[in-house]
Each structure stands twice: as structure tokens, then as C-alpha cells.
């Protein structure tokens, strides 16, 4: 497809400075503005010189197809290229486990599962596929990877963390970043959420009275997400900062700041951490972006919030809705001397530097010739590999696993035929969904494709009085994202337990597969199963589960999070202080071979 003419690419710092000298204040502040795609007419990208547009969770075109995604993003880019200086915009999306907003894209296991693989090369290949599916839709900016180190599994974002262990997070997150960035076509990784989003304390989430009425402001369900990390700087540097330093050393060009606070101060107001530590001490030369509407949480006065965050070191603001108010507010702050023009120029320089590094001045669009690759069999094979490598065998008595393909199976549980449950949150919609939400293989589909005779009853009620040889139950968590998943009761639901009990009475050997975004308290149900498997949130390719259950591949996954015996061992600090050992420790995983 013919490329539109664009601004001559700045090839070095002097060229970037020369471009900045040509820019008006309006053009500079436009570059610092990121707007949610449903909130801006395409022509306003031109009028306000907008530097970035995004699709948040569920920010999809209708109908939601790869071709419509490509056309949607192309339209915004064409509007940016109509501006006086023809500076390309950068389009961003929460593609946190594949291009997961887009129907038909392959959806990989969430990070909690990838942590169990301990396979950095696999994670790099997953990122490479994600980059290709993003670039096929003209999308150059991925809000991933999370480098969170979750210390409390009650947190609704625990599944976005690779591990409770900093070294595992660092290895896998940097591999993911390199997979996005180190080959052509290049996609910008966003290292998030700076910093200690995984170190907040239960009960410290706030409700901001001045934001109520906005459907995505934190509400009553938030207890730890966006809360306060009440830790000293030594702990911050030991547990939460190392992945950022490693990523910067390996070429990180974007960092997203956390909704959370450190020692009572919102991260978006933390000049010491953003400017002194991240930019100066760590030598970060890319740009810093805010999270969704997070700047507004700093103070009831929007002007104070904007001034504080920009002066703290924020370079681009995910507004995401009322961009005209943000632009007017920051313009007035500069004109009044509340924000120095040098701070504006520094922010714009960082943004332009990254756009030049991505090659967007020469090639502002993506690679629509890659559209046939989206959701391809080749991509799905890598996801299938990731699923089987992520499974952790917690229990296997009486040689229950691997199962024989010649023995009929009773299949039950809420996850038995539900691709949406396997994908979890951040899948087509922000909170995910239930049922056949996208193209994929359910557990039932996978068992049938394996050539196994199967009867299904989600409730676990089967006719006949004879015991079946094998019962297979898929239970666990319904999809959620962010604070909507904060949960102080990580036991299986009464409905799940009832299904397990019915199946226990219906079969000779019972296999339980746990679908969850974090460890759960399974101490009471574990004795009921002959075999128990942690499958995390595996995504669209459930064939990877049956690959291992039926012995085509061995179990190799190792826990990247400890399993507590009870809620008394949550958070991790309580587990470490508890006199009893965890039910299953970090690194646990049985190996089963034919």
C-alpha cells in the first residue's frame, strides 16, 4: 500500500532539536497528548496535533475484525500526517497476551502462566508474534510487558505478573520487551507500572470523590489495586526496581507510571522516582507515559494535577477522554510559568526520539500485508506450546496422569467449554467475558480433537450408576481485570466444590484442572482429586492442555508463585512469617513422563 508523504525523518539529536524549534506550543502539547479512540473525531487529530491515540481494553472497531482494526488506525495516522509538520502519531493498545482486543487474534497465556514456563526464548517468540499481529493493524505501541512483582495474590492484577520473584520477572519481562523491539517490524514496549504496583497494601485503595460518575474510576470493589506501597526505599530497590533497570539497560524506550502510591504519594506525582531515579540515575532516554486518567487522581484541582505530574517528569498523558481540557490546562500552565517550557521541550524531544527510533517518520503505517498472519495456525502452535509448558502438575497419585486416549472421559465444570474463561481478563473486552468470545479451542474441543470419547455436563451430573474410569473437571475463576479482581477469599466457589464432589462420586479417578489468574486456596479440595493441575489462564489454545494430560508431552512447568495453605498465609509476607510451610512452594512442579 502506498505510503503517505511525511516529515523528513530526524536522524540525530540535532535534527530533533531543529524540529522542536519549528514547533508551536500547541504542536508540542499535542504531541504530549494521548486520547482514547472513541473520544476523538478523526479530524481533531489534525486540529490539535495529537501525538498518540489508543485502544484501551475493549476499544475495538465494529465489526471487530483485523481489517477494520487496520483501517481504523490508518485513518488516525492519515489525520496526523495532515498537520503542518506531518509528525506521525503512535497508536497504542493493551496487547498484554497477544493482540487480545481483536477478534480472531491468537491469545496467549497470561504472564502468570508464562512465569511457570521459565522459558525466556518462548516468551520472546510470543512477543514477536504479538508484534507482527499489531503491526498488521498499523499499531506500533504495546502497553506491555508488566514487570510487576506481586507480593499479595489478592491483587486483581496478579496474573499480569510473571512471578512473586524479582529475578524471574526480570528475565522474562526483558525477553518479552526484546521480542517486541529488537527485530523488524519493531513495536514499542511499555515497561509498567512504575513502580511497586505489586507491593501495595490491602485496604489502601482510595475512592476519589471528584472522579465519581466516571465508569472507570476506582470504586468499592478496589481494595489493593491502585493502593499504597508502604515500603521503605531499600525494599523498593531490592524487589520492585530491578526489572526497570534491566529493561533500560537492554533498550527500553517507554515506561508507564502506576496508578498506585509510594509512602502515601501518588506515583504520578513522584518527581524523585520518575526524574531523579528513572531518568537521571538509570539513564532512561525514552518517554514516560501516564496510565488511564491517573493524573486526575493527584488532586481535586485538575490544573494542580496536570502541573504536578508534568513537573514530576510525565512526558505523555493518557488523558484519555477530555483532551481539549487537558490541552487548555497545560497551555495555561506553561503561559503562566507553572510548567517551564524546558520541561515541555524535554518531553517532546523524548517522544520524537522514540518515534524516530521506531522508523515512523519514514514508515508511519504498519504492514497490512501481514494481515493474513493474524490468528494463523503457525501463531497458534506457539500459543499451544506455551500452554503445555505453563501447566504445573501439583498432584498425581495412582499413576492417574497421563490419561489414555482409549479410555472414555466424563468432562465437567464451568470451564469445560468456555474459551472466555480460559482467556481471562483483557480479552476482547477489558474485563474479559464468558463463552466463545473469540476464535479458539475450548477444553471440550481439545479433548475431542485428541480422539477421546467424551461426555460433558458442566454441572457434573451424568446418568447411569456405574463409575466412569476418568472424570475431568475444569474449575476456577471467572474473568476479571484490575481492581474488579481484588479478592480476599481465594477459595473455590461452592458451585465448583459441588461439581468436584459430584464428579468424585461418579468416577474412579478424578483430575481437577484449575483455571485461575493466581494461586488459590485448594487445601480442602486437593484430597478429593487423584491428579491436580494448575493451568492458569491459558488463552485460546486448550489443545496445549490435552497435549500434556494425554501424554503427548510431559509436564515441565514450575510454580512462579507459592500456593498458600490458607488465607492466613496471604500476602507473601505473612506466608514467610507463618510457622507452616506453603501448600506448594515457589519452584514446585511434578514431572510426569510416560
Contacts for 226 with CB less than 8 Å, ≥ 6 apart:
200, 205, 206, 218, 259, 260, 297, 483
**Nearest by Cα to 343 from 356, 333, 357, 353:** 333
Q: Given the residues 165, 315, 385, 482, select the one marked as catalytic.
A: 482
Q: How far is CA 394 from CA 162, 303, 320, 447, 557, in A?
A: 19, 53, 43, 21, 10
Which residue in the block uniquely carries the three cell numbers 531490592?
238
Q: What is the C-alpha to C-alpha distance for residues 204 and 217, in angstroms, rounded to an integer?
A: 15
**Dihedral-angle region of residue 2 (phi above 0 means left; psi in -120 to 50 means alpha; beta otherwise):** beta
Q: Is 410 helix (H, G, I), strand (E, B) or coil?
A: strand
Q: Clarify whether 291 is annotated catalytic.
A: yes
Which residue in the block uniquely carries the three cell numbers 498432584?
395
Burial class (CB in 10 A: 0-12, 13-18, 19+), 61: buried
Element (H, E) at 255: strand 254-257
**Nearest by Cα to 522 from 153, 17, 192, 144:** 153
**How far is C-alpha 368 from the geometric centre of its chain's CA atoms?**
24
Q: Is 370 helix (H, G, I), strand (E, B) or coil?
A: helix
Element (H, E) at 350: helix 341-357
Q: Are 592 and 393 in contact (CB under 8 A)?
A: yes
Instruction: Show the DSSP H helices in 250-322 as ranges.
Output: 271, 302-312
DSSP string, 44-77: HHHHTT--EEEE-TT---SS--HHHHHHHHHHHH
Axis-axis angle for helices 242-249, 166-181 (nearest 10): 30
Q: Given the residues 133, 291, 385, 530, select the one marked as catalytic.
A: 291
Burial class (CB in 10 A: 0-12, 13-18, 19+), 304: middle
Q: Is 331 helix (H, G, I), strand (E, B) or coil?
A: helix
Q: Are 209 and 243 in contact (CB under 8 A)?
A: no
Q: Clarify whether 482 is annotated catalytic.
A: yes
Q: Are 224 and 203 in contact (CB under 8 A)?
A: yes
Positions marked catalytic = 291, 482
Amino acid at each position: 500500500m502506498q505510503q503517505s508523504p511525511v516529515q523528513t525523518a530526524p536522524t540525530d539529536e540535532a535534527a530533533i532539536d531543529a524540529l522542536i524549534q519549528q514547533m508551536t506550543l500547541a504542536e508540542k502539547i499535542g504531541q504530549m497528548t494521548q486520547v482514547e479512540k472513541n473520544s476523538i473525531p478523526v479530524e481533531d487529530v489534525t486540529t490539535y496535533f495529537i501525538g498518540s491515540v489508543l485502544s484501551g481494553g475493549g476499544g475495538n472497531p465494529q465489526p471487530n475484525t483485523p481489517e477494520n482494526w487496520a483501517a481504523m488506525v490508518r485513518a488516525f495516522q492519515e489525520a496526523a500526517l495532515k498537520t503542518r509538520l506531518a509528525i506521525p502519531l503512535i497508536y497504542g493498545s493493551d496487547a498484554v497476551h497477544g493482540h487480545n482486543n481483536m477478534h480472531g487474534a491468537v491469545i496467549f497465556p497470561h504472564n502468570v502462566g508464562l512465569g511457570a514456563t521459565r522459558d525466556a526464548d518462548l516468551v520472546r517468540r510470543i512477543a514477536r508474534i504479538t508484534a507482527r499481529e499489531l503491526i498488521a493493524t498499523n499499531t506500533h505501541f504495546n502497553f506491555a510487558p508488566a514487570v510487576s512483582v506481586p507480593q499479595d495474590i489478592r491483587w486483581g492484577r496478579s496474573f499480569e505478573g510473571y512471578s512473586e520473584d524479582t529475578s524471574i520477572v526480570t528475565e522474562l519481562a526483558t525477553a518479552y520487551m526484546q521480542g517486541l523491539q529488537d527485530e523488524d517490524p519493531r513495536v514499542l514496549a511499555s515497561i509498567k507500572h512504575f513502580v511497586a504496583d505489586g507491593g501495595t497494601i490491602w485496604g489502601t485503595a482510595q475512592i476519589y470523590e471528584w472522579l465519581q460518575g466516571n465508569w472507570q474510576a476506582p470504586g468499592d470493589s478496589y481494595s489493593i489495586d491502585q493502593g499504597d506501597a508502604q515500603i521503605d526505599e531499600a525494599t523498593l530497590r531490592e524487589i520492585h526496581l530491578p526489572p526497570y533497570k534491566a529493561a533500560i539497560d537492554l533498550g527500553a524506550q517507554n515506561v508507564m507510571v502506576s496508578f498506585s502510591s509510594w509512602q502515601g504519594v501518588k506515583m504520578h506525582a513522584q518527581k524523585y522516582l520518575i526524574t531523579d531515579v528513572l531518568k537521571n540515575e538509570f539513564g532512561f532516554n525514552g518517554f514516560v507515559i501516564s496510565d488511564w486518567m491517573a493524573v486526575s487522581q493527584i488532586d481535586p484541582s485538575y490544573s494542580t494535577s496536570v502541573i504536578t505530574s508534568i513537573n514530576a517528569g510525565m512526558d505523555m498523558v493518557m488523558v484519555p477522554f477530555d483532551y481539549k481540557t487537558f490541552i487548555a490546562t497545560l497551555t495555561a500552565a506553561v503561559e503562566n510559568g507553572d510548567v517551564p517550557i524546558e520541561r515541555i521541550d524535554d518531553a517532546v524531544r523524548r517522544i520524537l526520539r522514540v518515534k524516530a527510533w521506531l522508523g515512523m517518520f519514514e514508515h508511519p503505517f504498519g504492514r497490512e500485508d501481514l494481515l493474513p498472519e493474524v490468528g494463523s495456525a503457525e501463531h497458534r502452535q506457539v500459543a499451544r506450546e506455551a500452554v503445555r509448558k505453563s501447566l504445573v502438575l501439583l498432584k498425581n497419585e495412582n499413576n492417574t496422569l497421563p490419561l489414555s486416549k482409549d479410555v472414555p472421559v466424563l468432562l465437567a465444570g464451568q470451564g469445560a467449554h468456555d474459551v472466555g474463561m480460559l482467556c481471562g481478563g483483557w480479552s476482547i473486552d477489558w474485563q474479559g467475558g464468558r463463552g466463545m468470545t473469540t476464535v479458539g479451542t475450548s477444553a471440550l474441543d481439545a479433548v475431542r480433537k485428541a480422539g477421546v470419547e467424551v461426555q460433558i455436563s458442566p454441572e457434573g451430573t451424568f446418568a447411569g450408576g456405574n463409575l466412569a474410569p476418568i472424570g475431568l473437571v475444569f474449575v476456577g475463576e471467572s474473568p476479571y481485570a484490575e481492581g474488579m479482581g481484588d479478592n480476599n477469599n481465594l477459595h473455590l466457589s461452592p458451585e465448583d466444590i459441588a461439581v468436584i464432589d459430584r464428579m468424585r462420586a461418579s468416577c474412579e479417578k478424578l483430575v481437577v484442572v484449575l483455571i485461575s489468574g493466581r494461586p488459590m486456596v485448594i487445601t480442602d479440595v486437593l484430597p478429593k482429586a487423584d491428579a491436580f493441575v494448575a493451568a492458569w489462564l491459558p488463552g485460546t489454545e486448550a489443545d496445549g492442555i490435552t497435549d500434556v494430560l494425554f501424554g503427548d508431552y510431559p509436564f515441565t512447568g514450575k510454580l512462579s508463585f507459592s500456593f498458600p495453605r490458607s488465607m492466613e498465609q496471604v500476602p507473601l509476607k505473612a506466608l514467610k512469617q507463618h510457622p507452616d510451610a506453603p501448600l506448594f512452594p515457589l519452584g514446585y512442579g511434578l514431572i510426569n513422563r510416560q
